[in-house]
Every structure is written in C-alpha cells, then in structure tokens.
Amino acid sequence: MDLNILKNLKLTKTTASKIDTFDFEDLKFGAKFTDHMLVCEYKNGAWQDLEIKPYSPITLDPSARVFHYGQAIFEGMKAYKDVNDDVWLFRPDENFNRFNKSAIRLAMPSIDETRFIGGLKELLKIEKEWVRKGLGNSLYIRPFMIAIENGVIASPSNEFLFCIILSPAKSYYSGKIKVQIADYYSRAANGGIGAAKAAGNYAAQFYPTKLAQEAGFNQIIWTDSTHEHLEESGTMNVFFRINDTLFTAPTSDRILDGVTRKSLIQLGQHLGIDINVRPMKIEEIVKAAQDGSLKEIFGAGTAAVVNQMEGFAYKEDYYQLPELANEDSYALQLKDALTKLQNKLADDPFDWTVKI
Ligand SMILES: *Cc1c(COP(=O)(O)O)cnc(C)c1O
C-alpha cells in the first residue's frame, strides 16, 4: 500500500445522513445506497487522487465513450460485521485481481491495490454504521470503471472513472428457481469477454432471459458454442450433484472465475464432500434426472451466495428435481458454512477474511 495515495485522499462528508430513516429490514437487493461513494479519475496516463464524497449523480458528456462503445467493468463483493463491531472483507484480493483482468480485456487501465483495496477500506471506515451484524447481513460493494473521454470515436478511451458504491444487503431464503438450458442463445463466446465482469455481458443476456421468464422460468443455464456443455446459470456459476458427487465446470474464456465458486469447492472439500471439476454435458444431467441420481443443482455467486434450483427445462421437456430434507442438501450445508465463515460466526481455516 502506498500511504501517500491515502494521505492525499480528499474527503467530503455528507451533512444529511440517510441512516436514521433507513429500513434495514426491508431490503431489495442492490436498490438503495449508503451516504458516500469513492471516486477516482484516470487521465493523462495516470490515476489521480482518491476522493470520498456524498453519494450523488455522475455528470458526463453525451459523447462519453461508455455510452457508445460499452467500455465498462465492475466487481461485486461484500463487507461483514462481527460481534465486536469489527468490519471484514471476504477475499478482496480476488476481486481486485479479477477487476484488473477485466480491465485488460476491455482495453482499460489496471488500477493499483492502494486505490482499490485501500480506498475501499477508507470508504468502509466512514460507512461502518451501514454494515449490520448477524448471519446473512452484509454490505454489498460495487466497484466499477467506465470510459469517460468525450467523442464518438470507436477507439479506447484515454480517460476513465473508477467508483465504489455500497448497498446494504440481507441474504434471505429466496425460494428455489426453475431454469431453462440454453439451446440457441449464448452468453459468451470462445475468445470473447465472458470471463470478464464486463457490463455488456449482462446486456447481452437480458433478452434471452426475458424470453425464458415469459416461458415460466427464472433463469437460463448457459451452454458452450455447440450447446452441449453446461456452463453458468444466469449470473452465477453452477454446481450439479449426481448421487453424492458435486460437479462444476472448469473456468474458461466463457466462464467467469467466481470467488464463491472457488470458495465452495475448497470449503466442500474441507467438509468432506466429493467435488469433481470437469466439463458437464447436458446429456449427463438429463440421464441423471431420468434415473433419479441427479439430486441438486445450484448457482453460486456473491449476491445470493447459493441459489437452489427445483428443476430444469431442456428443449421440450421439464425435469423436476427430488425434494431433499434441508439437512441432506449440499447447497444448504455449503451456504450455511460459507455465510457463517463470512459473518465471523465460524472459524476461518483458510484465512479468507480480512479485517479493515
Ligand atoms: C460475478 C459473476 C459470477 C459470480 O462470481 P462471484 O465472484 O462468486 O460473485 C458468476 N458468473 C458471472 C457471469 C458473473 O458475472
């Protein structure tokens, strides 16, 4: 960490905090934000001074590149508070490194650890009251970077804005979802930007997801270019349990390297669950659903941690998964173990949590 960068941080505090009237019980994910945000501009070939200021709109010229060519990336991470009121981050280095990988892929400048992690820690110190204690409570963190240079010239911007905003979150039981396996649309391409957290990846999946929702499903499980292998579910990585083995696809150009995914793999192994990372064929899970050996499917990502599925559609057929007692579900066991570790309600044998 470069302490000079943090010493030059410009801080303007709000005179009208929203915290006293904020309803922490009624939280729609990602809908409301805290009092302050972190911003930092990149220009003349360098990142400028960090600034923390009241949460407020960003004003840009209509010709700013982000509006035309979609040079935009983001991250998703969470902060947690323990019983002693200390605030913790979960594997922030993973998000920092992935942010820079996304930046490189989108021809954007990488950012230094001091501005990203150091800046975030300074912001969290100011917004400490917004992090609530208790299992499942967290503060969702959304770092992002956009191209702000003016001019509708189809070339990479030379100016960027890095920003972090914070949104209080609660993990509640959202119910099981029904998914449809993609057999026409794709989320990502070989050699494309699927492995980056690029804003455009989401834009590209809204329309097919809307069609799936109109057909009665909540999400899509994306497949590879030949629509033979199972890749990701919506905005999450995906796990399949056949008998007592948990399968998930290896990461690739098309599959995002999720922090939740890699943490669940390690945690599962630690808990004695048999985990197998290999490409999964649609054919295999259809067969397993038919012979009763397919026990669970679930998505894994920072926002929901784990999202259980009740069944999947493939082409004309729908396959219902069996009802499992909660204590027999790998999804729920893993979710419980990971959330307790993150909320500092259980040991962290992996040293994943970082105190701010
Ligand atoms: C963010 C994201 C995930 C989940 O990653 P986490 O680090 O676990 O939150 C999975 N797939 C896609 C496409 C994503 O954008």
The letter for the amino acid at 313 is A
CB 138 within 8 Å of CB 78: yes
Pick the CATH number of 177-342 from 3.30.565.10, 3.40.50.300, 3.20.10.10, 3.30.365.10: 3.20.10.10
Mean pLDDT of the 164-171 span: 93
% of the chain surpassing 90 pLDDT: 94
What is the per-residue pLDDT across 71-124, written as a single tens digit (0 to 9) for each? 999 999 999 999 999 999 999 999 999 999 999 999 999 999 999 999 999 999
What is the per-residue pLDDT across 230-256, written as a single tens digit (0 to 9) for each? 999 988 999 999 999 999 999 999 999
**The pLDDT of residue 173 is above 70:** no
Q: What is the pLDDT of residue 1?
A: 83
Cα distances (angstroms) measured from residue 154 to each of 64, 71, 159, 204:
11, 11, 14, 20
- Across the chain, what does the average pLDDT equal? 96
Q: Where are the domains of the chain?
A: 3-169, 177-342
Cα distances (angstroms) measured from residue 66 to each of 146, 172, 288:
6, 34, 45
- Alpha-carbon distance of 34 to 36, in angstroms, equals 6
Q: Which atom of ligand 1 is nearest to the CA of 75?
A: 1
Q: Is the CB of 234 under 6 A from ligand 1?
A: no
Distance (Å) from CA 195 to ligand 1 centroid: 9
Distance (Å) from CA 235 to ligand 1 centroid: 6
The set of residues, in sequence order, having a beta carbon less than 8 Å from that of 108 and lying 6+ positions away, is 71, 73, 102, 145, 147, 156, 157, 160
Q: Is the CB of 260 under 6 A from ligand 1?
A: yes
Tokens found for residue 61: 């010229």
Q: Write the class of the CATH domain 3-169.
A: alpha beta
Mean pLDDT of the 5-27 span: 95
- pTM (2 decimals)? 0.97
The pLDDT confidence band at residue 26, using thresholds 50, 70 and 90, is confident
What is the per-residue pLDDT across 52-62, written as a single tens digit (0 to 9) for each? 999 999 999 99
What is the per-residue pLDDT across 298-312, written as a single tens digit (0 to 9) for each? 999 999 899 999 999
Distance (Å) from CA 196 to ligand 1 centroid: 9
